[in-house]
């Protein structure tokens, strides 16, 4: 399982005092208000940073890190990911999982047949949709609803689904 999760990407600097504009990649950008510590993926290492201040501007989050007070100290990190550890990730409710933990799991039917591997999760307005790459290389789209997704077993690396009528018609 993944131990870190991306919550944003540094897009550019903001001003001269070390602030950065961050494009949030988390479901709720307001989550940045509660962040105390993040990891900056420099490409070589994950550098811990302490969040000093957070503001919002349009679809971006403007973040100031403690100890970074000049534009020169941060501008080399444009395009780099901001991560949080699993311990600092949002609390999940019952029957919720991190998408990163689902990718790569085997998908089997409630009748025991292997459908393929989960390769992506599409987030739509109504419900998520699981993208399953079948043995033949085709993509199967399964709605992530209770009638279809019966069980997610991260330890076994398996998702058990009930294929609703019409979903396998290609």
pLDDT along the chain (170 residues), means of 10: 86 92 89 91 92 93 94 92 88 83 93 92 87 90 91 92 74
For residues 85 and 93, the answer to whether their CB atoms sit within 8 Å is: no
Domain finish residue from 87, 113, 129: 87
**Pick from 116, 92, 93, 121: which is nearest to 105 by CA?**
116
13 with 82, same domain?
A: yes
Number of structural domains, the chain? 2
pLDDT for res 169: 59
- CA pair distance 89, 93, nearest whole angstrom: 12
Q: What is the pTM of this model?
A: 0.72
**Degrees (nearest 5) of the Cα angle 1, 33, 30?**
75
pLDDT for res 3: 83
pLDDT for res 100: 87
Domain finish residue from 26, 54, 87: 87
53 with 104, same domain?
A: no
Classify residue 62: in a domain, yes or no: yes
13 with 78, same domain?
A: yes
Handedness of CA 104, 106, 110, 115 (dihedral sign): positive
pLDDT for res 86: 86
76 with 104, same domain?
A: no
157 with 82, same domain?
A: no
pLDDT for res 167: 67
Classify residue 93: in a domain, yes or no: no
Classify residue 56: in a domain, yes or no: yes
pLDDT for res 26: 85
75 with 19, same domain?
A: yes
Phi and psi torsions of 21, nearest 5° = -90, 130
Range of the domain at 49: 4-87
Classify residue 169: in a domain, yes or no: no
């Amino acid at each position: 399982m993944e131990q870190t999760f991306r919550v944003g990407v540094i897009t550019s600097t903001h001003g001269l005092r070390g602030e950065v504009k961050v494009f949030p990649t988390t479901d709720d950008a307001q989550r940045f208000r509660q962040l105390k510590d993040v990891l900056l993926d420099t490409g070589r290492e994950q550098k811990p940073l302490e969040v000093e201040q957070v503001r919002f501007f349009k679809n971006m989050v403007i973040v100031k890190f403690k100890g970074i007070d000049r534009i020169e100290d941060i501008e080399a990190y444009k395009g780099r990911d901001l991560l949080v550890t699993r311990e600092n990730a949002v609390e999940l409710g019952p029957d919720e999982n991190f998408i990163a933990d689902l990718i790569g799991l085997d998908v089997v039917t409630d009748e025991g047949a292997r459908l393929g591997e989960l390769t992506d999760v599409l987030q739509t307005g109504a419900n998520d949709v699981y993208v399953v790459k079948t043995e033949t290389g085709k993509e199967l789209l399964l709605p992530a609803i209770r009638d279809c997704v019966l069980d997610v077993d991260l330890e076994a690396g398996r998702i058990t689904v009930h294929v609703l009528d019409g979903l396998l018609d290609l």
